[in-house]
Amino acid sequence: MNELVFLTDGSVSAKLYTTGDVIAQYAGMTHRAINDNIETYKKDLQDFGVLTFETLKPPKGSKGGRPRKVWHLNMLQATTLIALLGNSRPIVFLKKALVKQFYEMREALINRRVAFQFGKQSSKGLSDAIANSDAFEDDSHAYSNLNRLMYKQALGMNTAQIKKLRDIPEHQAITEYLTADEAAALSKVKSQTSVLIELGMDYKQIKATLANQGIIYQIKLDKTQQVITG
Residue span of the structural domain in which 40 resides: 6-86
The residue out of 86, 105, 137 marking a domain boundary is 86
In a domain, 226, yes or no: no
Specify whether 67 is located in the same domain as 119: no
Specify whether 133 is located in the same domain as 178: yes
In a domain, 36, yes or no: yes
In a domain, 131, yes or no: yes
Instruction: For residue 19, give the 3-state DSSP assignment.
Output: strand
Percentage of the residues of the chain whose pLDDT score is greater than 90: 83
Specify whether 193 is located in the same domain as 122: yes
pTM (global) more than 0.85: no
CA-CA distance, 216 to 150, in Å (whole number)? Answer: 10
In a domain, 101, yes or no: no
Structural domain tally of the chain? 2
φ, ψ of residue 69 to 5 degrees: the values are -95, 130
What are the pLDDT digits (tens) for 146-193? 999 999 999 999 899 999 999 999 889 999 999 999 999 999 999 999
Residue 147 identity = N
Specify whether 122 is located in the same domain as 81: no
Specify whether 82 is located in the same domain as 118: no
In a domain, 144, yes or no: yes
Specify whether 61 is located in the same domain as 148: no
φ, ψ of residue 56 to 5 degrees: the values are -100, 130
Q: Which residue has the higher pLDDT, 85 or 62?
A: 85
φ, ψ of residue 58 to 5 degrees: the values are -60, 145
Specify whether 196 is located in the same domain as 127: yes
Q: Are 24 and 34 in contact (CB under 8 A)?
A: yes
What are the pLDDT digits (tens) for 43-64? 999 999 999 999 988 777 666 6
In a domain, 18, yes or no: yes
Q: Are 166 and 110 in contact (CB under 8 A)?
A: no
In a domain, 229, yes or no: no
